[in-house]
Amino acid sequence: MYEITKSDITRGRRLLAGALAAPAAFTAIPAVITLLLLFLAPLSPPSAFVVLFLGIVVTAIGLILGLITAGVLVARRSKWSRELREKIAADGIRPDELGWFMSELKASEKRALRSIESRDMLMGDAYRETLASRLTATRIVRSSRKELQLAKRRQNSLKQLKAASTDEFREEVARDIDKISGIHDEAKAMLAESEARLQMIEAAASRGGSIADNELALKKLTARTNALPLALESAKMTDEIRAELESEDDPPK
């Protein structure tokens, strides 16, 4: 089981910091030197113009070098991240490692994860664990498909050879194909099960969230609707009492 170390985190942070700082550093250094020469050194106007021109050229070159350096560091960080994810996923993805694989999640899964975790942490943990299973199954399906294709190509290549010594290799390749096919089918079944479980958790969260809120709002609306005839009757009675009082106060003609 691969455990992420502090050196892994430190290397990733350094690569990211270097990629962000490289353009600014390569541009700022020649620009600052040029400004210091212009304002502090006693230069004549022709010499100042030459220094300014050279400073602009060197600053532009520094910006280009900074962007190239940033691109190289970004590529190295991407490679580092990809290799680290492969090491983590080698023994199966755990729920607490899901943050490293957010780029592999679907947009709908990211939204559902945020929504479920904001309402119910226990259900969010179940959804996170199922997502980890889905990612693991997806990786196994992908890798087993590639291995199966390679094994079948190897089998076809061996069929073209007529040497007697290749019979044993053909049997080994055939056993490999059967084994890889079993792994591939089992991974596909696990993938389908995890996707179905994700749908079940989303439906359960919806029943406990928006549907429950809608039911509560509907009950409040029903209560208000039931109370409306009572309010109208009360207002009618108030008007009748007021009319009677006004008729009693009026003097008879």
C-alpha separations of 250 from 239, 244, 247 in Å: 17, 10, 5
What's the pLDDT band for 158 if we cut at 50, 70, 90?
A: confident
Q: 3-state DSSP: the chain helix, strand, coil percent, rounded to 5?
A: 90, 0, 10
Question: For the CA atoms of 235, 237, 242, 243, what is the dihedral angle to 10 degrees?
Answer: 120
Domain boundaries, the chain: 1-91, 94-213
Mean pLDDT across 214-224:
50
The predicted pLDDT at position 64 comes to: 93
Q: Tell me, what's the pLDDT at 242?
A: 57
Decide: 27 and 56 in contact? Cβ < 8 Å: no
Mean pLDDT throughout 89-104? Answer: 84
Per-residue pLDDT at 243: 59
Sorting pLDDT into bands at 50, 70 and 90, what band is 71?
A: very high
Please, which pLDDT band fits residue 76 given cuts at 50, 70 and 90?
very high
Range list of H helices, 162-209: 166-208
> Is residue 202 pLDDT above 90, yes or no?
no
> Which one is predicted more confidently, 8 or 30?
30
For residue 225, is pLDDT > 50? no
Say yes or no to pLDDT of 212 above 70. Answer: no
Q: How confident is the model at residue 228 (pLDDT cuts 50, 70, 90)?
A: very low
* pTM of the shown model: 0.65
Residue-level pLDDT at 200: 87
Output the six-digit token pair for 162: 């007529």
As a whole number of angstroms, the distance between CA 205 and CA 191 comes to: 21
**How confident is the model over 137-148, as pLDDT tens digits?**
898 898 888 888
Say which residue the tokens 């990809």 belong to.
82
**Which amino acid is it at 222?**
T
The pLDDT > 90 percentage for the chain reads 11
Mean pLDDT along residues 7-15: 87
In this prediction, residues 52-60 reach a mean pLDDT of 88
* pLDDT computed for residue 88 by the predictor: 83
